[in-house]
Structure 1
Amino acid sequence: MASSLNILKKEQLLEDFPFGEKSFYTIFLDDEEHQEVQAKKIYKSLISLFNEFHQEQPGYILQDPPFINYLTLLQNMLLAVTLAQPKLRSPELVVLDALEESQFSHKQAEKRIADFSPQQIKEIQLITNLCSQKQTVIIDDWLKDENDIQQKNWILILKSLVKQEQISVILVTSNPTIADMGEIQFNSDSFI
């Protein structure tokens, strides 16, 4: 599939919601000196866009996840799923089933979230977003710290989820190679 770089003006974003198609999107952080500031502005802009177009709030996979460290894996996931889907009848069954499918044991589910590795935390965030039935997931720039093989594996996993689960993934990245892997690519100027 050929990629295309979309450079939208801020005015265009206010007319059309740019993430209507279920796809794998990338937003390239091109300002090497101010990437952190640039990223924060983009996240703020994305949240505003979702609010402006009355879209369901997206899920997130972050380098610094919003989990509560003293709670267990199961407690954190139940909290997140219950907040995202308050009318869900049996969040415990959904979470336990997802953990089992992802090869997390019942013993692991009772471990404190702080006891898991950064790689496992990313997997847990992804599972939590799927259990919460998020239609869009925003991912911050943590892939830049992974090696080439892990980057490609994560991209394959995310692209597969886009197709299988019919969700949108928005990956904000400072790595031009990763940005080029997006099915639909945006320049950061479109969101600042």
Structure 2
Amino acid sequence: MRRSARIAGLTPNPTSISTMPNRKRKVAEIIVPVKQLHFHGPYIRQNWPFRDSLINYTTKTPSNSKAWQKLIKSCKYVFAKNPILVIENLWWDEEDWYASSNNDAGPVDFTKISSKLWITDKFNATCAPPENVSLIIPKIYKCDAKYLSLMNDVISYKDFLFLSSNVEDTVLRENIVKNSDGSIVSLEKLIAVLPKIKSIFL
């Protein structure tokens, strides 16, 4: 089906358009109802006024969550090339992981989600099965959480650094953090790599 035919098919009331003057008819035919547009729908390669190398760099290496969120809202080509969703909070609630953003919350099935998550505020794995935390870390693009809670977890020192890079307040209870050689990391070493820390509950 040609593009013009598809667009015409999306027009809400084609019978009324046929009685319009030619100029008004052309304008009406290119208006697509908002409800027909979907974020995960097809996208068209943009004719950027920049070099492809700059667009690729911007798309593949986002450094600011707020700027990235505005970018993927304005152009779904960017999200299609690098599917990262910005969320405020990620937490374990009895049997499932939950995420929230802009006062909306819901469960997250990491076995089905293809996008990576960018956490900006809180990561709470209290009471999560120990293996669950390590399993979901590959699904997290970046963790800028200011609050981190871990309980009864066994994680690697590398994963701890990844989760705590921006932490100000943390709860660490009955955790084991291991080096790559299997040795246990001391509490002093963990505190030393938390430059923004304000409070620790042990």
Q: TM-score, normalised by structure 1?
A: 0.29
Q: Select the structure of larger CA radius of gyration.
A: 2
Relative to total residues, which structure has the larger helix share, 1 or 2?
1
Greater relative contact order (CA < 8 Å, ≥ 6 in sequence):
1
TM-score (norm 2): 0.28
